[in-house]
Structure 1
Amino acid sequence: MSELQLSDVRKSYGGLEVIKGVDLDIKSGEFVVFVGPSGCGKSTLLRMIAGLEEISSGDLTIDDVRMNDVDPSKRGIAMVFQSYALYPHMTVRENMGFALRFAGVPRAEIEKRVNEAAHILELGALLDRKPKQLSGGQRQRVAIGRAIVRHPKIFLFDEPLSNLDAELRVHMRIEIARLHKQLATTIVYVTHDQVEAMTLADKIVVMRAGVVEQVGSPLDLYDDPANLFVAGFIGSPKMNFLKGVIEIDEDQAYARLPDYGDAKIPVTLQAAAGTAVTIGIRPEHFDEAGPAALDLAIDMLEHLGGETFAYARHHGNGELIVVETKNGRGLKTGDRLTARFDPVSVLVFDGEGKRLRS
């Protein structure tokens, strides 16, 4: 296991800066996920760690050794790409051992490592098959096995599940989590799928436009987002955002919501009257017994068996609000819905999207 540190790391292409001063400490054995929308720089940052992209400025160290100018093959890193990149004319065994054979590792050692990796990934019965005889999930496991046999200090995964269907993605998430627990190796993983990030990571790095917006455990980011972007990106269905204005009445601050019948939501924060704010409410925080309420009309219902999400607006106008309901089976499109909630669960953001705290 190895520690990884990025200190004011930047990447520019000519006059265009795409990574804008990233500072990050990854502890030995951690599973860290870079997540963010397409084009945010997460794959570029991963490729800089791997040595496939040059670092314009700043320092990358692994176990306190500066790696900026070290050849990728000597960094002790193995990378798994979105594309399986398997040789079609080679068997699973040959694909997994190819890099070792190319590096001059003795045949007996190659066979030992390939068999060990095959056992970990449950590929033993497939070692003599060729890639065209494998499913997508099996091919991805072979690609992971090709990385495992190198005994790297750090594994890098670049959106490895993007080419799989929904059921296989769930299965492979479980497999990768099991693999991390079994190998106890440092993993840096890139995805645009926040569900993937939430289910796999010890620590999530949320990125936007080349900048790290927030770093923390999945539940820390979910419960305590630093800004509007993180609050909206982490969570599925996403958090509801309602535009409001602060009013003060007898030392109590309220967020008045003009688009929702001027409903007043008590908030515990220091803000001047007239301040424009955004109120954040997660779908599951609506509760039939809550003291605050929004008067809505249902546009659509999403029945998922054990839970139902109502997509509703105020009198058919304004932004859709997603409400997790307890009695969804008794609702239908067009019904009026009084969506109640406890103001304690509300998050408040200023006009620039920064979190306002009490």
Structure 2
Amino acid sequence: MSGLKLRNVKKSFGAVHVIKGVDLDIEDKQFVVFVGPSGCGKSTLLRMIAGLEQISSGDLFIGDKRMNDVDPAQRGIAMVFQSYALYPHMTVRENMGFALKFAGRPKDEIARRVDEAARILELGKLLDRRPGQLSGGQRQRVAIGRAIVRHPDVFLFDEPLSNLDAELRVHMRIEIARLHKELNTTIIYVTHDQVEAMTLADKIVVLRDGIIEQAGSPLELYDDPDNLFVAGFIGSPKMNLLDGTVEAGGIRLADFPNDLIPSPIAIPAGTAVTVGIRPEHFDPTGTAALDTSVEIIEHLGGETYAYARGTGSNLLTIATDNNRTLKTGDRYQARFNPASLLIFAKDGQRLR
């Protein structure tokens, strides 16, 4: 078993509290992604699991064994960093097998494990090249191969794709997803890119300021966010968030004072709220509408987004069902179904 448990885990650097009490269960063979903005503590938490940062308080279990004071080399983990950190004078084969050679493993075992990892990562034709002869994506695959040969219980990835260009990132996301299925092991992956999180994860852990805001499957977080932060962070394009006040007949939005929209839930009149609606939830057949003025049209081939506003400064992002006749300056009735709205209290918590 290679599941993990974190119980009230904290990390402080002097008076600075970076991780402020994390409780988390990671199941065996699960792909878990830590996601959040820069400085939220996701890489620190990963390094604590790896043993590269000491846990200030709380407990870490891998399987049933408490790992707080266990040497990193004895934790059964392998880590892939943002930097490839390959030895430039060594071949791909030598880079991948170096840790095993350093550990004194037999030559035939090293060769077998390197060949196995090369097959999984499709590196067979590159084994005799040096890092300087490889592309960025190939180098990252070698770095992953160096972790695979160790046969760890848990793989840790710390923003491994951030040095790659956009097209290669998409390709490597697919490769890492395929790798998880082939290896059938536990992976913990850190990124600030919520698209990576949505496409790779069985479970997403959203962090902010050293605490977990919400954890769940990608679609759970997308469909049912607990608060404004998660709602705004998960989803691309981002959710539209509009301030309003509840009246007897519905919600009056500050940016659309002439449109009283129905509320999907019962809320006392006079309550200040924030209304969330995703761009793709605008629907020409919807029973409610916002009267907007189109400022920018974004044609992406298979889909079209309109960026429009009411009387305020906030731009709405509207998926228009690939409406190719819409143009800048048009008045547009952005229709939607009230059931698709998410309502948040002034403190940012979801109202249900």
TM-score interval, normalised by the smaller of the two chains: over 0.9
User: Within 5 Å, which residues of 2 pair with 1:1-358?
Assistant: 2-249=2-249, 254-315=250-311, 317-357=312-352
- Between the aligned partners of 2:184 and 2:316, the Cα distance in structure 1 is 42
Q: In 1, Cα distance between the equivalents of 2:153 and 2:324?
A: 52
1:350 CA displacement: 0.3
Amino acid at match of 1:320: L
Letter of the structure 2 residue corresponding to residue 265 of structure 1? I
1:22-41 per-residue CA deviation (whole Å, 9 max, x = no partner) reads: 00000000000000000000
> How many residue pairs align between the two structures?
352
SS of corresponding position for 1:260 = coil
Contact 2:242 2:254 in 1 (8 A): no
SS of the equivalent of 1:296 reads strand
Q: Deviations over 1:45-64 (max 9, x none)?
A: 00000000000000000011
Q: Give the match's secondary structure for 1:278.
A: strand
The CA distance in 1 between the partners of 2:290 and 2:261, in whole Å, is 10
Unmatched tracts of structure 1, length 5 or more: none
Contact 2:80 2:156 (8 Å CA) reproduced: yes
Name the CA distance, whole Å, in 2 between partners of 1:256 and 1:354. Answer: 19
Measured in 1, the distance between the counterparts of 2:281 and 2:231 equals 14
Contact 2:273–2:343 (CA under 8 A) maintained in structure 1: yes
Q: Which amino acid aligns with 2:273?
A: V
> For 1:97 and 1:262, how far apart are their aligned partners in 2?
68
Contact 2:302/2:322, CA 8 A, preserved across alignment: no
Amino acid at match of 2:224: D
User: Residue 248 of structure 2: SS of its match in structure 1?
Assistant: strand
SS of 1:120's equivalent? helix
* Residues in 2 aligned to 1:326 and 1:124: alpha-carbon distance in whole angstroms: 45
Give identity over the alignment, percent: 73
Q: Secondary structure at the match of 2:93?
A: helix
In structure 2, the CA distance between the partners of 1:158 and 1:334, relative to structure 1 (3 Å rule), is same
In 2, Cα distance between the equivalents of 1:87 and 1:61? 33
- Using the alignment, how far apart are the partners of 2:111 and 2:84 within structure 1? 21
Q: Which amino acid aligns with 1:172?
A: M
Unaligned runs of 5+ in 2: none
Q: Determine the C-alpha separation between the residues in 2 that align with 1:10 and 1:49.
A: 12
Name the aligned partner's letter for residue 319 of structure 2.
Answer: E
Determine helix, strand or coil for the equivalent of 1:318: coil
Does the 8 A contact of 2:264 with 2:341 survive in 1?
Answer: no
Report the secondary structure of 1:220's partner residue. Answer: helix
The alpha-carbon deviation at position 327 of structure 1 amounts to 4.5
C-alpha distance in structure 1 between counterparts of 2:77 and 2:197, whole Å: 21
Residue identity matched to 1:271: I
* Structure 1 residues 184-233: Cα deviation after superposition (integer angstroms, max 9, x where no partner): 00000000000000000000000001010000000010000000000000
Quote the RMSD (CA, aligned, Å): 0.9
Q: CA deviation at 1:265?
A: 1.7
**Aligned amino acid, residue 190 of structure 1:** V
SS in 2 for 1:54: coil
Moved segments of 4+, more than 4 Å: none
The residue type paired with residue 109 of structure 2 is: E
Q: Distance in 1 between matches of 2:116 and 2:129?
A: 17
Secondary structure of 2:262's aligned partner? strand
Offset at 1:169?
0.4
3-state SS of 1:94 partner: helix
- What are the Cα deviations for residues 289-308 of structure 1, in whole angstroms up to 9, with x where unaligned? 11111111111111110100
| 1: CA distance, partners of 2:195 / 2:307 | 21
For 1:143 and 1:334, how far apart are their aligned partners in 2?
A: 51
SS of 1:104 mapped into structure 2: coil
Deviations 1:266-290 (A, max 9, x none): 1133422111000000000101111
